[in-house]
Structure 1
Amino acid sequence: MKQKVGFIGLGVMGQSMAKHILLAGYPLSVYTRTKQKAEELVNLGAVWIDSISELSKECEIIITMIGYPKDVEEVYLGEEGILSSAKPGTYVIDMTTSQPSLAKRIYEQANSKEIHSLDAPVSGGDIGAREARLAIMVGGEKHAFDTCLPLLEKMGQNIVYQGEAGSGQHTKMCNQIAIASGMIGVSEAISYAKKSGLEPANVLKSITTGAAGSWSLSNLAPRMLAEDFEPGFFIKHFIKDMGIAIDESNAMDLYTPGLELAYKLYEQLAEAGYKDKGTQALVKLWDEK
């Protein structure tokens, strides 16, 4: 019989991720701050649980996909949090992008309670979540990774064990650093195509399959052209991620000028009222000049 899974956080990506688990035949319990977000899953057979502590007592594997490090800290380490309620032998998987240092703290406290902890942030946005082809970067003990791999495979395709606790989060920082400068390049390329009188959609046909190709160019540039700025990944969350990456880089005395420029540009965008839009809205900074 498949393990009983609890899923906490049903946002843009979490909703699809939880749905894949449910449709794969796992008994699924869900909790999110806005109960309405759980309606579709409940209608498909998931069980709504009224609190994090109750869900934690009932489930063998608990997955979280929430917002900010402060939320992760509260959900895991709070008085009514997961680690205060889960049984020994439970597996907990935080798929939020969060601080590597927090992932290590959670691992250490979980380990003291004989609970197995993995940090497993993802990349791929709303499309990757819907199509179950997320990249999943995992830190923690290898035996815990091996046990949870069949479940992770229901949500993603490129699933890589990176090492000890915190390694998944460090890997996600590498991912976000690469995206940060890349999004500037995509926005500038689109803007250049428009200014030079080219047909931007036709330009994409040429450059997405060449050396300039990237996930952002293939998936987000078309949204830019369609002026579709709805979130596959929120700007406010990307700013959070870049802030973590800058803090970690500073702690290692690492020079990251591209990351710091992207952070400043996205902060400008958030101040202009776009914090709840998708990261592709960065092109608005060029459109408005």
Structure 2
Amino acid sequence: MRIGIIGVGSMGGAVAERLLDLGHTVAVWDVDAEKMRRCAERGATPSSSLQDLAKYSETLIASLPSPKAVRDTFLDKSLLDGLRPGTIVVDLSTVDPETSRVAYQSLKARDASYLDAPVSGGPRRAATGRLTITVGGDPDAFHRCEALLRQLGEKVFYVGGPGSGSVFKLINQLLVFAHAYAAMEALTLCKTLGLDPAKMYEVVTAGSGNSFIFQEMVRMAISGEVWGGRTSLLIKDINLTHEMAQKSGAHLRLCRFLKETADRMEESGYGGDDAVKDFRAFVEMVARGGA
């Protein structure tokens, strides 16, 4: 299968690596030529334009950083003109459901299919095919590319019509941000009280307060390992979740608090590329009365 990938940053690059390892023929396009060069070193073919990538590909996979990037890409005339009839676009990006529906309608008008298929698990799991993928869109399009999706994800859920995958992903991100902040507060309190963080980790991971985010973030905070999750993307996600909740008429107190916290993190300079480091530093600053 000839697969084109739009956006080969940390997640898109890991997906490209996974597909190449499985023997697929992969072409890539990114606004950053250096990212395409790194993929080429692994065996992918760089494309000169979105149109060339669309003409080449039987299936397109996108991994883009924002709703604007998704809209700009799937409303782009050159890409639309290059699409083959029947092409399926699998969008792994985390965006609002309205953006997913706009992209769906744009591609439908060109006899192509769009699936909003945001992922959870991070680049490491992507490289080994262990992502969780929630998929929205037409069921026929889902069934046509389900086998490919299961090469990327160990858990693949079809959750409904266009935009549904994005809704589920943003609900997930509400919990991710909450767990991340709570995990770093627990670690900070433990240290403030003079107790051993490693022992706290052992106790909590054996109890009902445990979560995947607690396990990963606290373990890495203790060991000094870099998680690879970008704080800037988590901030973007919680803002999208808050916006989605407001539009739905749901007044969610925790979601509002987390959105305000995200704004403070960004304003204080904690919106970089290492979520463990940023969350830990911000929570410790707040604990000292610094924000």
| TM-score for both structures, normalised by structure 2 | 0.93
Structure 1's unaligned 5+ residue stretches are none
Residue equivalent to 1:124: 121
- Please say if 1:34 is aligned against 2:39: no
Tell me which amino acid in the other structure corresponds to 1:87: R
Match of 1:287 among 278, 284, 287: 284
Judge conservation of contact 2:220–2:227 (CA < 8 Å) in 1: no
Residue equivalent to 1:5: 3
Residue equivalent to 1:195: 192
User: Hey, what's the Cα distance between the residues in 2 that align with 1:111 and 1:27?
Assistant: 25
User: Hey, what's the Cα distance between the residues in 2 that align with 1:267 and 1:250?
Assistant: 17
Cα distance, 1:157 vs structure 2: 0.7
1:208-223 correspondence runs (5 A)? 208-223=205-220
Q: What per-residue deviation string (whole Å, max 9, x for no partner) do you get for residues 106-130 of structure 1?
A: 1122122210110000111233223
User: Hey, what's the Cα distance between the residues in 2 that align with 1:68 and 1:44?
Assistant: 26
Match of 1:69 among 67, 70, 75: 67
Structure 2's unaligned 5+ residue stretches are none
Residue equivalent to 1:250: 246
SS in structure 1 of the partner of residue 155 of structure 2? strand
Cα distance, 1:227 vs structure 2: 4.5
Q: Kindly report the root-mean-square deviation, in angstroms, between the aligned alpha carbons of the 2 structures.
A: 1.5
Cα distance, 1:154 vs structure 2: 2.0
Residue equivalent to 2:230: 234
Match of 2:136 among 134, 139, 159: 139
Alpha-carbon spacing, 1:173–1:57, altered in 2? closer, same or farther (3 Å) = same
User: Hey, what's the Cα distance between the residues in 2 that align with 1:209 and 1:164?
Assistant: 38
Cα distance, 1:41 vs structure 2: 2.5
User: Hey, what's the Cα distance between the residues in 2 that align with 1:210 and 1:231?
Assistant: 23
Deviating beyond 4 angstroms after TM superposition, the runs of 4 or more aligned structure 1 residues are none
User: Hey, what's the Cα distance between the residues in 2 that align with 1:198 and 1:250?
Assistant: 41
SS in structure 1 of the partner of residue 23 of structure 2? coil
Q: What per-residue deviation string (whole Å, max 9, x for no partner) do you get for residues 25-72 of structure 1?
A: 111001111121123321232111011111011101000001111011
Match of 1:25 among 9, 23, 34: 23
User: Hey, what's the Cα distance between the residues in 1 that align with 2:262 and 2:246?
Assistant: 19
SS in structure 2 of the partner of residue 56 of structure 1? helix
Residue equivalent to 1:53: 51
Alpha-carbon spacing, 1:53–1:231, altered in 2? closer, same or farther (3 Å) = farther
Match of 1:207 among 204, 209, 212: 204
Judge conservation of contact 1:94–1:120 (CA < 8 Å) in 2: yes
User: Hey, what's the Cα distance between the residues in 1 that align with 2:210 and 2:124?
Assistant: 18
Tell me which amino acid in the other structure corresponds to 1:259: C
Judge conservation of contact 1:266–1:282 (CA < 8 Å) in 2: no
Instruction: Give the number of aligned pairs.
Output: 285
User: Hey, what's the Cα distance between the residues in 2 that align with 1:114 and 1:45?
Assistant: 30
Judge conservation of contact 2:70–2:103 (CA < 8 Å) in 1: no
Match of 2:268 among 272, 277, 285: 272
Tell me which amino acid in the other structure corresponds to 1:30: V
User: Hey, what's the Cα distance between the residues in 2 that align with 1:33 and 1:225?
Assistant: 36
Judge conservation of contact 1:180–1:259 (CA < 8 Å) in 2: no
Judge conservation of contact 1:193–1:200 (CA < 8 Å) in 2: yes
Alpha-carbon spacing, 1:45–1:227, altered in 2? closer, same or farther (3 Å) = closer
Judge conservation of contact 2:117–2:136 (CA < 8 Å) in 1: yes
SS in structure 2 of the partner of residue 88 of structure 1? coil
User: Hey, what's the Cα distance between the residues in 2 that align with 1:283 and 1:191?
Assistant: 8
User: Hey, what's the Cα distance between the residues in 2 that align with 1:200 and 1:266?
Assistant: 25
Cα distance, 1:202 vs structure 2: 1.9
